[in-house]
Chain A
Amino acid sequence: MSQTSRPLAYVHSRTAVLRNENIDTDRIIPARFLTTTERTGLGKHCFQDWRYAADGSDDPAFPLNQPEARGCAILVAGHNFGCGSSREHAPWALLDYGIQAVISSEIADIFRGNSLKNGLLAIVVGAAEHRWLLDNPGVELRIDIAEGTIALPDGGITRFDLDAFSRHCLLNGVDQMGFLLQHEADIATFETHREKAA
């Protein structure tokens, strides 16, 4: 397997919190920025219509513009984060903005898959843990991907589920294209059978 993304074993940061439920990928990166043909440079447009005031300055009402939220690599967000459009520009924008992990009580399927393939850890925790994290912005967390744990500053530990393959890919920086390409012989055999049957 080839290695393309940086291996990620831990995310250690204070949290920034967006309490809103159903934050869709249009809000993360509005469609007018999708005419790019690159993956890079989208961080400055992340949450574009939420974070800037009319004059282009940072809107102090946007939670991630608060001084204590600056530099946080862990985003705790309301239920059903990343719903809507399949645009991979959403995780690209979040990563470029500086987010390495998103925690919610539910994360939309396509966004979650896109995130994990780009080294953005997207994890779901139980309702009680989620509520506590929403209510305590700025708390220092240490996420251990190999162990599947989130360590709180008071010594408490919360577990999260991550499928074995995604964990392996994150920990080793393994790229899934390489894994798929190893199945060439199986794919060719499948095609031969399928196209003969048709």
Chain B
Amino acid sequence: MSARTLFDKLWDSHQVKAETASTPGVLYIDLHLVHEVTSPQAFDELRSRGLKVRRPDRTLATLDHSTPTLPADADGKRPYYTKEAEAQVAKLESNVREFGIDLMGWDSPQRGIVHVAGPEVGATQPGMTIVCGDSHTATHGAFGALAFGIGTTEVGHVLATQCLLQRKPKSFAIRVDGALQRGVTAKDLILHVIGTIGIGGGTGYVLEYTGEAIRALSMEERMTVCNMSIEAGARAGLIAPDETTFAWLKDRERVPKGDAWDRAVAAWRDLPTDEGATYDREVRIDASAIQPSVTYGTHPGMVVPIHGNVPAAADAMEQRALDYMQVIAGKPMWGEKVDVVFVGSCTNGRLSDLRAAAGLLRGRKVAEGVRMLVVPGSEQVRRDAEREGLDEVFRAAGAEWRESGCSMCIAMNGDLAQPGQLVVATSNRNFEGRQGKGARTVLASPLVAAASAIAGHVADPRDYMTQEVAA
């Protein structure tokens, strides 16, 4: 057989039926992740057709989008933003009971954002196909799994058949050579990549991130990178599994144990792209040239280095974005006054992200007039952070410490910014109104977010980093 990419191998090994000129292929799905927002209509569809969930054992649900991040009151009543949100959560709870699906629900210590909790429990494994009614499913590609977001109709297809009708996308290698500088993170790397290839640059492709800068990343950093593949239009982003991957997964609840683990690892070692395999498109990025980066406009492709100048608008639409953001071409984002700082989300809500932000905030205060919200990506992350005392660091600095969930990334649970407020956010989308009607979002790393909270304006974390923090 000719040399194949990681993507080719994942695709080939999941084809129930190959595509033809007149029909798409039938692709088998190993793991289906489900949450409350994009699933109710799919369960209704099954019910109306008298269908069962074909493989409840390959389906795992969580509660994350519509859930409050403030704790329940003494009577156990949760402060839902709306009664619709509460009803939506109740609907998933009743659907999983009816169809026999595992739910990481309110009573589970494993509850969390679907793309944080899934990997944590070891449900996400190399070589798998993984889908969820959520575009940030790309996150799981960090493990060498083909993972992508689907719509609710397709959620129904997978529930009923464990398969999807798909045509094979093209492949696109993002090769990142060199090493990231001190104070420059995986978030800066992926923002730089999106700024380079553009918000639609990955449309029709599956990305594979390769090169020494990618190999040097931890699993949490790799998840940050793959998470934002969709912000360049790519449904999926991949990183080949290696010793870093295996070490991170070993002994997690849902991974194979004993001899089965050894056999699994042996199979996973065959996944990386063969020498001589080719991609439909390739770009090279020099990691050492990447600066702490932030967005300045109203989509994730409008990215500048923190001290770089906001570029002049090329047309009326770009000018509209600058006007919405109230930023001026020819000036840097550094120094822009900040109202809210949000640390969390499936992009940057993991323990290492909270450690990075807390590292800068320890012994410092959030600037007067700035609201800082820290929302762990899962209850496991929350417990780990509290064990290390990170919650105390955030509280002492004047930040709010919450329970886990999507929170202000999608702002549908009541955690939102007010019109006109500028939010430095570690999340993934800066679309108009994403964090609240009229809210202005600047996407950044947890380090930039923490530095900005301290300064009260968009700030460079390197100005606050001691040598040991940098290590």
Name A residues whose Cβ lies closer than 8 Å to a Cβ of B. Answer: 19-22, 24, 26-27, 30-32, 34-39, 49, 78-80, 83-88, 106, 108-110, 113-114, 117-118, 163-165, 168, 176-177, 179-181, 183-184, 186-187, 190-191, 194, 198
> 8 smallest A-B Cβ distances: which pairs?
A114-B151, A88-B151, A37-B40, A86-B149, A35-B84, A86-B135, A80-B200, A31-B412
For A88, the chain B residues whose CB sits under 8 A away are: 38, 41, 133, 151-153
B16 contacts across to A, CB distance below 8 A: 183, 186-187, 190
Interface string of B51-89 (1 = CB under 8 A from A): 000100000000001100000000000000010110110
With contact pairs A108-B200, A186-B17, A190-B28 given, residues A24 and B299 touching in the complex (Cβ less than 8 Å):
yes
Nearest B-chain residue to A37, judged by Cβ: B40
Q: Please name all residues of chain B whose beta carbon is closer than 8 Å to the beta carbon of A176 when the two chains form the complex.
A: 153, 157, 165
In whole angstroms, how far apart are the Cα atoms of A20 and B320 in the complex?
A: 10
Contact A86 B41 (CB under 8 A): no
Query: Quick one: given A109-B203, A177-B156, are A164 and B21 in contact (CB under 8 Å)?
Result: yes
What residue in chain B is nearest A20 (Cβ atoms)? Answer: B317
| Best-surrounded residue of A24, A37, A106, A187 (most CB of chain B within 10 A) | A37
Q: By the criterion CB–CB under 8 Å, are A31 and B410 in contact? A: yes
Given A88-B153, A113-B154, residue A83 in contact with residue B233 (CB < 8 A)? yes
Residue of A nearest to B200 (CB): A80
Known: A84-B431, A184-B161. A32 touches B412 (CB 8 A): yes
**Distance between Cα atoms of A140 and B134 in the complex (Å):** 36
- Of listed B44, B84, B263, residue having the most chain A CB within 10 A: B84
Q: Is B23 an interface residue (CB 8 A)?
A: yes
**Do residues B161 and A32 form an inter-chain contact, with CB atoms below 8 A?**
no
B434 close to chain A: CB less than 8 A: yes
Instruction: Kindly provide the distance from the CB of B350 to the nearest chain A CB, expressed in whole angstroms.
Output: 21
A49 to B298, alpha carbons, bound, how many Å? 15
Among candidates A27, A86, A118, A190, residue contacting B150 with C-beta atoms closer than 8 Å: A86
- Among B38, B162, B203, B434, the residue within 8 A (CB) of A26 is B434
Residues of B within 8 A of A113 (CB): 150-151, 154
Q: Which residue of B lies closest to A176 (CB)?
A: B165
| CB-CB nearest in chain B for A109 | B235
Pair A110/B200 contact, Cβ less than 8 Å: no
Closest to B23 in A: A165
B400 interface contact, C-beta 8 A: no
A102 to chain B, nearest CB (A): 15
Please give, as numbers and ranges, the residues of chain A lying within 8 Å of B235 by CB-CB distance. 109-110
| A32, B301: Cα distance in complex, Å | 24
What are 17 residue pairs bridging A and B, where the CB atoms are less than 8 Å apart in the complex?
A26-B429, A37-B44, A38-B41, A39-B41, A49-B433, A80-B203, A84-B135, A88-B151, A110-B151, A117-B151, A118-B153, A164-B23, A165-B23, A176-B165, A187-B26, A187-B54, A194-B28
Instruction: State the CA gap A22–B321 with chains docked (Å).
Output: 11
In contact, B411 and A32 (Cβ under 8 angstroms): yes
A165 to chain B, nearest CB (A): 5
Please count how many residues in chain B sit with their CB below 8 Å of the partner chain's CB atoms.
Answer: 66
A165 touches B165 (CB 8 A): yes
Tell which of A34, A39, A83, A165 touches B200, judged by Cβ atoms closer than 8 Å. A83
Note all chain A residues with C-beta closer than 8 A to B437. 30, 49
Q: Contact: A35 with B153, CB < 8 Å?
A: no
Q: Name, among A24, A108, A180, the residue most crowded by chain B CB atoms within 10 Å (CB to CB).
A: A180
Q: Considering the chains assembled together, what is the distance between the CA atoms of A110 and B153 in angstroms?
A: 12
Q: Are A84 and B133 in contact (CB under 8 A)?
A: no
Taking Cβ atoms with an 8 Å cutoff, the residues of B that contact A are 16-17, 21-24, 26, 28, 37-38, 40-41, 44-45, 49, 54, 65-66, 82, 84-85, 87-88, 91, 133-135, 149-154, 156-157, 160-165, 167, 169, 199-200, 203-204, 230-231, 233, 235, 263-264, 299, 301, 317, 320, 410-412, 429, 431-434, 437
Query: Are B37 and A34 closer than 8 Å at their CB atoms?
Result: yes
Query: Please, which residues of chain A bring their CB within 8 A of the CB of B199?
Result: 22, 80, 83
Within the complex, the shortest CB–CB distance from B53 to chain A, in Å, comes to 13
- Give CA–CA (A22, B320) in the complex, Å: 13
Residue of B nearest to A178 (CB): B49
Which A-chain residue is minimally distant from B26 (CB atoms)? A183
- Identify the interface centre among A39, A49, A87: most chain B CB within 10 Å of its CB: A87
Q: Knowing that A34-B412, A35-B66, A88-B38 are A-B contacts, what are 14 other residue pairs whose CB atoms are under 8 Å apart, sorted by A's residue number?
A: A24-B429, A32-B411, A37-B41, A38-B41, A85-B135, A85-B429, A86-B38, A86-B150, A114-B151, A117-B151, A165-B24, A176-B153, A177-B49, A183-B16
Complex Cα spacing A164 to B151, Å: 21
- Given the interface pairs A86-B134, A117-B154, A180-B165, the reply to whether A27 lies near B433 with Cβ below 8 Å is yes
Most buried by B among A39, A80, A86, A163: A86
Report yes or no: A86 in contact with B85, Cβ–Cβ below 8 A: no
Q: How many whole Å from B79's CB to the nearest CB in chain A?
A: 15
| A167 to B, closest residue via Cβ | B22
Give Cα A106–Cα B22 distance, bound, in whole angstroms: 23
Closest residue on chain A to residue B91 by CB atoms? A37
What are the residues of chain B within 8 A of A37 when measuring CB–CB?
40-41, 44, 87-88, 91
Given the known inter-chain contacts A34-B37, A34-B412, please indicate yes or no for A106 contacting B153, CB distance below 8 A: no
User: Which residue of chain A has the shortest Cβ distance to B19 in the bound complex?
Assistant: A165
Q: Shortest Cβ distance from A48 into chain B, in angstroms?
A: 9
- Chain A: which residue is nearest B167 at the CB level? A163
When the two chains form their complex, are residues B204 and A109 in contact, meaning their CB atoms are under 8 A apart? yes
CB contacts (< 8 Å) of A165 on chain B: these are 22-24, 165
- With beta carbons under 8 angstroms apart, the residue of A20, A35, A80 that contacts B82 is A35
Q: Is the CB of B167 within 8 A of A108?
A: no
Whole-angstrom distance between the alpha carbons of A92 and B140 in the complex? 28
CA distance A83 to B165 in the complex (A): 21
Which chain B positions have C-beta within 8 A of A78?
317
CB distance from B245 to the nearest CB of A (A): 18
**What is the CB-to-nearest-CB distance from B311 to chain A, in angstroms, rounded to a whole number?**
16
Q: Which residues of A contact B160 (CB under 8 A)?
A: 177, 180-181
CA distance A37 to B87 in the complex (A): 9
CB atoms of A86 and B151 under 8 A apart? yes
Chain A residue nearest in CB terms to B198: A80
A22 CA to B302 CA, complexed, in Å: 12
